């Protein structure tokens, strides 16, 4: 058999390898604390579940959705006005996604042609690079450096690269580095995009998971943002609807329109009960958001403070549901450390190298287990020799 050459760009993902490691250990009957994949374990609030369950019992809701219901579009418009102070036209500036992952996988197909240049962060959530790669794009990695608080320095992008670029992806609060960008960055970003005629995609999946009493808003609140791009937002982390797969592309009507056209040829829209539940989530009682935020903040404190007490000092993240940690000691690679950590403790984390070249030397730890499991993880690491081995290398 012969297959598409585009698949040569994709090897077996690191998450597949981690899953295999996990499966083998479980077969051996050994304990695991899985802090690798960012799969939220906080369920939706009761009022959201109530709407979803009731709508699932309506026979008429099992037809093809085809397009977004007005109820959903109007709800998202109200959500953005109330939460982010952004006014939106429900009909032309909002498009639902079958989860942000689906949108990130496909949007480049509506913007770039084979060989076009796309700018992506480094390190970055893998689909930021994989989506444009599926479209045949040429990638340029924009470093997110610790010395710049993991915020992209746009002035470091070579002039010739900027002139060639068609699309750029950015995301703050950031996965995996957990960084939050200052307002000055967004103003520079909009100026940069206008100068070089680049479409911006800002992923805003973690805007509600900002800690220590701080907050952040939307890229679209800045003057000129809607002229140059769109924002993706997700209900997975904020409202616990991860498995329901619901997100939104919001902003520039030309970009939104092209994506709607593409999707009309690829899928039949969100399941109607999920549309109803999504509308209930963004317009209903928002106290559940604060509860979710507090849960992740407590997990962050337990993990970082617990590890610091045993000698692995990690900067507390200011946002997201992750911890970005430098590999302790002098392991040759992040993957080597991940394997050794898992072998000794059963604690599974993700090597930073899975997120791009600049991720080497770091691991991402997902705060996706309850407090008791985090206590067990810290205790297992303390009881092991992993930190001592790191010092011996």
393 residues of the chain, pLDDT tens digit each: 999 988 887 766 777 888 899 999 999 999 999 999 889 999 999 999 999 999 999 999 999 999 999 999 999 999 999 999 999 999 999 999 999 999 999 999 999 999 999 999 999 999 999 999 999 999 999 999 999 999 999 999 999 999 999 999 999 999 999 999 999 999 999 999 999 999 999 999 999 999 999 999 999 999 999 999 999 999 999 999 999 999 999 999 999 999 999 999 999 999 999 999 999 999 999 999 999 999 999 999 999 999 999 999 999 999 999 999 999 987 999 999 999 999 999 999 999 999 999 999 999 999 999 999 999 999 999 999 888 754 444
The two domains 3-41+285-382 and 45-284 share their CATH topology (first three levels equal): no
CATH number of 45-284: 3.40.640.10
The length of the chain in residues reads 393
Is residue 312 within 8 A of residue 325, CB to CB? The reply is: yes
**Alpha helices for 110-182 (secondary structure H):** 126-134, 159-164
Is residue 112 within 8 A of residue 137, CB to CB? The reply is: yes
- DSSP single-letter state for residue 78: H
Closest CA relative to residue 382, chosen from 354, 330, 345: 345
pLDDT for 390 equals 45
172 three-class SS = coil
Domain range 3-41+285-382, CATH architecture? Alpha-Beta Complex (3.90)
The CA–CA distances, whole Å, from 219 to 79, 85, 236, 278 equal: 15, 11, 19, 22
Dihedral (Cα; 12, 35, 344, 25), 10-degree rounding:
-60
The burial of 237, by beta-carbon neighbours within 10 Å (0-12 exposed, 13-18 middle, 19 or more buried), is given as buried
Distance, in Å, from the CA atom of 222 to the CA atom of 31, rounded to the nearest integer, reads 48
Distance, in Å, from the CA atom of 339 to the CA atom of 352, rounded to the nearest integer, reads 13
Torsion sign over Cα 208, 235, 200, 166: positive
Confidence (pTM): 0.94
60 three-class SS = helix
pLDDT tens-digit map of 368-390: 999 999 999 999 999 998 887 54
The ranges assigned to domains in the chain are: 3-41+285-382, 45-284
62 three-class SS = helix
Q: What is the DSSP secondary-structure string of 244-273?
A: G--EEEEE-HHHHHHHHHHHHTT---S-HH
Q: What percent of the chain has pLDDT over 90?
A: 91
Distance, in Å, from the CA atom of 122 to the CA atom of 287, rounded to the nearest integer, reads 35
Q: The tokens of 119 are what?
A: 């700018």
């Amino acid at each position: 058999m012969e297959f598409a050459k585009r698949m040569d760009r994709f090897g077996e993902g690191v998450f597949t390898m981690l899953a295999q490691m996990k499966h083998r250990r479980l077969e051996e009957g050994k304990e695991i604390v899985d802090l690798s994949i960012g799969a939220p374990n906080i369920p939706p609030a009761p009022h959201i579940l109530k709407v979803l369950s009731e709508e699932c019992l309506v026979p008429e809701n099992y037809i093809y959705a085809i397009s977004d219901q007005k109820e959903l579009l109007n709800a998202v418009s109200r959500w953005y006005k109330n939460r982010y102070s952004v006014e939106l036209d429900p009909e032309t500036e909002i498009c639902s996604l079958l989860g942000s992952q689906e949108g990130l996988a496909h949007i480049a197909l509506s913007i770039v042609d084979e060989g076009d240049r796309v700018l992506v962060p480094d390190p970055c959530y893998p689909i930021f690079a994989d989506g444009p790669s599926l479209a045949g794009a040429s990638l340029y990695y924009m470093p997110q450096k610790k010395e710049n608080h993991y915020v992209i320095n746009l002035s470091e992008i070579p002039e010739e690269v900027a002139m060639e670029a068609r699309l750029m992806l950015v995301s703050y609060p950031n996965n995996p580095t957990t960084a939050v960008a200052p307002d000055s960055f967004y103003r520079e970003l909009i100026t940069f995009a206008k100068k070089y005629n680049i479409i911006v995609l800002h992923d805003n999946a973690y805007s509600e998971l900002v800690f220590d009493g701080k907050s952040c808003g939307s890229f679209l609140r800045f003057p000129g943002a809607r002229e140059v791009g769109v924002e993706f937002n997700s209900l997975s982390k904020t409202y616990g609807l991860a498995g329901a797969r619901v997100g939104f592309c919001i902003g520039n009507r030309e970009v939104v329109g092209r994506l709607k056209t593409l999707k009309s040829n690829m899928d039949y829209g969100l399941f109607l009960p999920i549309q109803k539940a999504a509308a209930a989530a963004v317009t209903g009682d928002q106290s559940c958001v604060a509860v979710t935020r507090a849960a992740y903040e407590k997990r962050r404190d337990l993990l970082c403070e617990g590890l610091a007490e045993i000698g692995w000092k990690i900067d507390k993240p200011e946002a997201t549901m992750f911890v970005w940690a430098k590999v302790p000691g002098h392991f040759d690679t992040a993957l080597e450390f991940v394997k050794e950590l898992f072998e000794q403790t059963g604690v599974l984390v993700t090597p930073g190298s899975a997120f791009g070249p600049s991720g080497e030397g770091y691991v991402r730890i997902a705060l996706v287990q309850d407090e008791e499991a985090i206590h067990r993880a810290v205790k297992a690491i303390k009881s092991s020799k992993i930190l001592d081995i790191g010092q011996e290398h």
